Structure formats: structure tokens, C-alpha cells
Amino acid sequence: MCGIIGYCGPGNTVDILVEALKRMEYRGYDSAGIAVGDYTGTLTVVKRKGKIADLQKVIPSTLNGSYGIGHTRWATHGEVNDINAHPHLNCAGDIAIAHNGIIENYAALKGKLISEGHVFRSETDSEVIAHLVSTFYEGDLELAVKKTIKLLKGTYGIVCIHAKEPNKIVGARNGSPLILGIGNKEMFLASDVTAMIAYTKQVIYLEDGNVVTITPDGYKLTDGTDKILDRKIDYISWELQEIEKDGYTHFMEKEIFEQPESIKRAMQGRIDKEYMTAKFGGLNMTNRELLAVERIKIIAAGTSYHAGLVASYLLESVARIPASAELASELRYRNPIVERNTLYFAVSQSGETADTLYAMRELKRKGARVLGICNVVGSTIPRESDGGIYIHSGPEIAVASTKAFTSQLAVFYLFTLLIARMRDMSYEMGKAFIQHLEELPQLIAKTLQTNSHVKNLAKKYSIYPNFLFLGRGLNYPVALEGALKLKEISYIHAEGYSAAEIKHGPIALINENTPSVFLVPDDMLREKVISNMKEVKARKGKVIALAVEGDEEVARIADDCIFIPSTHELLYPFLMVVPLQLFAYHCALELGHNVDQPRNLAKSVTVE
């Protein structure tokens, strides 16, 4: 949520900043800006409401400099306009800052600064930072930033420059990500590694309280006092081509079609065929400790929560261990009871979601063991968790999460196998489970062949204003996910329900203008779901059914049917979700929406 960048070095500063902002645009895209400085002591700020492409149009072609900062915004305080866009300046215009996060005590700070004569231009909380730095500035920007952050309450990733100290950028982090990129005679500070991956793969993930000063020749990392930190340099494994569209029209399309591969990566090296179980390197738990676990609780938000819900059903039914999933945002404030021998999972693609992170901290404070299931290596949740599993999906750029969902599922299925094999799953059953899992990439590839049919259905159905998505058992959370996908990118209102639940209220919505999407796998609940379909048809509701190849009975009842390959009944969530992702994608395109950057949203939701 908001992306910030700082660059100093011999490269073309404006181009590097703009390119970095484009790479981070998925973090926020309502306005953007840059501040560029040069040796003469000039600081030039250009900022605009709109996308980075709109900003590019107003950057003078003559603008150049040797250092600068940039920001792409997801508005929290103050409407979306040119003035509220970052960077923000102090009164004299010689200090510029870009900020990601929320300054909770900004109103009090602003009041005091105004009484001291400071004039504010924007309605943002962030502008106080620029004014505070100027009040503390006595020829040392780093010191002024250190004094400033002592007064800030809330979350921040900050980059700050001063016209009088060319080629220097000071960064500080508390609660919002900030990564130092170490290049050859050039340095970067960014919210996200994607901003710098084209130039360097050597990074240091800043921790809360850290302050870093960069110049083209090096960096100085401190803990916010005078203490210099000597932190390990990490290496980014993502390749540049992974953050490009690679021939696809949209990132979402690319990420949907990557799923046969991303799921393979999630499982790679984690299957133990000697004992027909799963193995993970980073759990930081012995088998004895795992055996002592009596309950599993999963916390997450959005799509990751839906993956957690599927996992909770699976763990309970297959591994026979009590399991539940809960929205992290709800758990945090209800003073949860942490029972002994309960293992928690915090699931997050980005590893930065504030709701999940703060809930995890609350659980850890109470003494819980929390493992992370994340995609972004080095992000905050995996760094603060007691151990965990990376899903290795590769970068997910589209705001709507797709491949992360199926990879989260893959990891949970393997974890279930591990626990089940320690309890009552036999060697032979473990072997069969693994065989089915290994077939998944190929089955997903086959399911992707429904694309053109789904596209035609999107043409036919995207005219409807409301949808119901209905499934049961393991596929109930998939119905929730289908509804979430549709509403977030096509802006069509959609609700996900257990198919059994419609008779308790939602059936009142059924008429010829409210289509229902039914998930009808070949499992023990099939007959019951078919009855629910008939109830909808009896009320003139249109039905799109996702059914297993050859299920003519379902095809006869439904108005339209999408066939998916047959698999083991436990694995249908992987296949059911794919046509739902495609359906949302094509509906959004039909309606002319920006599928990768839907309105009001941002990837990586770092505010509560």
C-alpha cells in the first residue's frame, strides 16, 4: 500500500525512479510523484493525480539529477489530487519526503507546527514529516530524521532528501516495509524488491526502528541511535522476466496461466517418497513438537483467508486434528484465548498485510507459536514468525490474487499430509495422496483449456448486476473466493454462500436477473448441491454450473456448464477455482475495467 523509492547513483535518476514506480504501481495507483536533486542544490518536485503514465506526461524532458525519491499513492488521509500526492516539501522547499504508512498523531503535530508558523499545503498526515525534519535540521539530515521519528506514532517507511546534502537519502522504517538495495556505485531504498530487481539483487531488509543513510558509494545502517548495524546481505531470487507480462496482456492473465508451474514450485523438494509424507525446511519444529500439536488455527485476510478455510476443512477431515480459520482483523481485537499446544498459521501472499501481521504479533505476545505461509521472501510476516513455509509462487503483480491461492493450498495439502502421516494415515494412503497431488499441475493445465468457453460465458453474463457463488464442503471457501474475484475486478456484486445456506435467506434474491454459479464436484455432497440447483431453477434463476467432465445430469439442469477434469474429491478446490478466476477476468474485460489495478484497491494492504 503506497510504494516509495529512493535512488542515488550515476544512472538516469528520473528514468530509474519512474520505472521503479511503475513496478510498484500495484501497491497504490491513485497518484504519484518524484523529487529529484542535483549537485547545484536544486530540488524539483513533479507530482500528479492518476497513474504513473499520467505523471510521466508532465515530467519535463530536461529534468535530470543525481538522486531522488518517488512515491505511488493509495490515499489514506486527504482526497486524491495533485497536492496530496507525494513527495511533500517543508516550507522552504529544500526538504522532500515520501511516506508509506499512517502517522496517527499527525493532527497534534500539525497543530503545533502551524502554531510555530509552518504552512501546510496538503491534507495528508505525511506532510508533518517534512516540516518536522526542517525544524530539527542543523546541517545533518540523518540526525534530523532520527529526531523526527521519535515524535511519530503510527507506521512508516520514509525516504527523505535535502537540497543541501546532494546524493544522500535517509530512510527509516517502522511497520511499513523498506528495503535497501546495494548496487555497483548506486544505492536504492524501496518498499518492494521489484523496484530495484533490474539493477541489483543484493538487499538488506530493514527492521522496525532502523534508519539508513545511502550515498552512491555506500550505506550506513543504524538502529535509530548512533549504533551501527552490520546486517546480512540477502540475495533476491526473482528474475526480471518474472515481473514482466511476458507476452500476456495482463498480469492477472499471466498469473492464472502460470498456475501449473507455480503449484509445481510450491511442492518441489517437499515430497518424501521414502516415507510417503511431506518435508519442510523452515518449520523449526521437531516431529515430537508437531505430534504434540492438538489444534491448528489459521489467520489471514481476503483470498489467503479463503485458502486457510479450505485448509481448516482438510486438516480436520484428513489429518483428524481440530482446525479453524479466522479473519486476522477480527482475531486481533477480540482478546483471543491462546491454548497450549495450539499451532497458528499466519497466511499472507505479501507477508506485509497489517491485519495479519498485527494479529500475529498479538498471538506471539500471548505466547503462541505462529508459523507463516507467505510468498514474498524477506517480508515482515516470515521474518517475525517462528518458522514457516514459502509458497514460491514467484511475484504476484495483479492486485487480484490467483496463483498465490493455489500455491497456498498446495502447501497446506502437503502440511496436512505430514500431520496425517504422523497420525492415522497409512503409507499406502500417503502414497495415493501424493500421486493425486503430483497430477495437479497437469489437471490445472487441462482446466485452463476452459478459457475460451469461460470468455463466452463472461460475454453472456457480465450484463447481470448480482451473482451468487455456491459450493459446499471444501468448495464452499472456493465459492467465497469466486465471489471475491468477481466483485473486486468487475465491480459486479457477488456473494459467496454455502449452497445449503441459500434456503436460509439468500434464495429471496433469486430471479431471472441474479445468476448463480454452482460448484458441483463429484463428491459426497453432489446430490445435495444438485437439489439446491433445482431449487434455484424452480425460481427462474439462471445457473452456471462447474461440474466434472461427463456429468450430464448437472449439464441438463444448468443453463450453462463448465466442465473440469475428474480428480480425487479432496482436490477439486484447485480445479474449481481456475474457471472462477477466468470468469472474473473476462467479465472485467467485457466491462472495460483495469483488471490488474481495480479501483480503490492495492496489493499489500499495510494499513488496518
Q: How far apart are CA 437 and CA 410, in angstroms?
A: 8
Q: Does 380 bind ligand F6R (CB under 6 A)?
A: no
Task: Kindly tell me which residue out of 349, 393, 475, 532 binds ligand F6R, with binding defined by CB under 6 A.
Answer: 349
CB of 360 to ligand F6R, least distance (A): 11
Give the strands of the sheet with 31-37, arranged side by side.
43-49, 31-37, 67-73, 3-8, 187-190, 179-182, 202-205, 234-235
Residue number with CB closer to ligand F6R (103 or 256): 256
CB of 270 to ligand F6R, least distance (A): 20
CB of 36 to ligand F6R, least distance (A): 32
DSSP string, 213-276: EEETTEEEEESSSSPBP-PPPEE----GGGGS-TT-SSHHHHHHHTHHHHHHHHHTT-EETTTT
Residue number with CB closer to ligand F6R (189 or 605): 605
Q: Does 191 bind ligand F6R (CB under 6 A)?
A: no
Q: How far apart are CA 177 and CA 575, in angstroms?
A: 34
Task: Kindly tell me which residue out of 18, 400, 434, 548 binds ligand F6R, with binding defined by CB under 6 A.
Answer: 400
Chain residue whose CB lies nearest ligand F6R: 302
Q: How far apart are CA 580 and CA 454, in angstroms?
A: 9
CB of 151 to ligand F6R, least distance (A): 30
CB of 24 to ligand F6R, least distance (A): 15
Site for ligand F6R in 464-493 (CB under 6 A): 484, 488
Residue number with CB closer to ligand F6R (353 or 450): 353
CB of 124 to ligand F6R, least distance (A): 23
For 121, residues 6+ apart whose C-beta sits below 8 A from its C-beta are 83, 88, 89, 127
CB atoms within 10 A of CB 107: 12
Measured in whole angstroms, how far is the alpha carbon of residue 112 from the centre of its chain?
Answer: 37
Residue number with CB closer to ligand F6R (319 or 400): 400
Measured in whole angstroms, how far is the alpha carbon of residue 604 from the centre of its chain?
Answer: 4
Q: Does 350 bind ligand F6R (CB under 6 A)?
A: yes
> Residue type at 79?
E
| Per annotation, catalytic residue among 2, 8, 561, 587 | 2
Q: Please, what's the b/e burial string for 190-213 (b: 16 or more CB within 10 A of its CB; e: otherwise)?
A: bbbbbbbbebbbebbbbbbebbbb
Q: Does 28 bind ligand F6R (CB under 6 A)?
A: no
Residue number with CB closer to ligand F6R (126 or 353): 353
Q: Does 302 bind ligand F6R (CB under 6 A)?
A: yes
Q: How do 516-520 and 543-548 pair as beta strands? A: parallel
Q: Is 273 known to be catalytic?
A: no
DSSP string, 149-196: HHH--B-EEEEEEETTSTT-EEEEEEBS--EEEE-SS-EEEESSGGGT
CB of 298 to ligand F6R, least distance (A): 12
Task: Kindly tell me which residue out of 90, 312, 356, 385 binds ligand F6R, with binding defined by CB under 6 A.
Answer: 356
Q: Does 210 bind ligand F6R (CB under 6 A)?
A: no
Residue 316: burial class (beta carbons within 10 Å; 0-12, 13-18, 19+): middle
| Per annotation, catalytic residue among 47, 201, 542, 603 | 603
Q: Is 2 known to be catalytic?
A: yes
Task: Kindly tell me which residue out of 44, 304, 498, 567 binds ligand F6R, with binding defined by CB under 6 A.
Answer: 304
Q: Look up residue 344 and give its three cell numbers.
A: 497458528
- Residue whose grid cell is 511516506: 99
Task: Kindly tell me which residue out of 84, 259, 303, 567 binds ligand F6R, with binding defined by CB under 6 A.
Answer: 303
- Residue whose grid cell is 498456475: 259
Question: Residue count at the site for ligand F6R (CB under 6 A)?
Answer: 15
Residue number with CB closer to ligand F6R (90 or 348): 348
Which residues participate in catalysis according to the annotation? Answer: 2, 603
| Residue numbers at the binding site for ligand F6R (CB under 6 A) | 301-304, 348-350, 353, 356, 400-401, 484, 488, 604-605
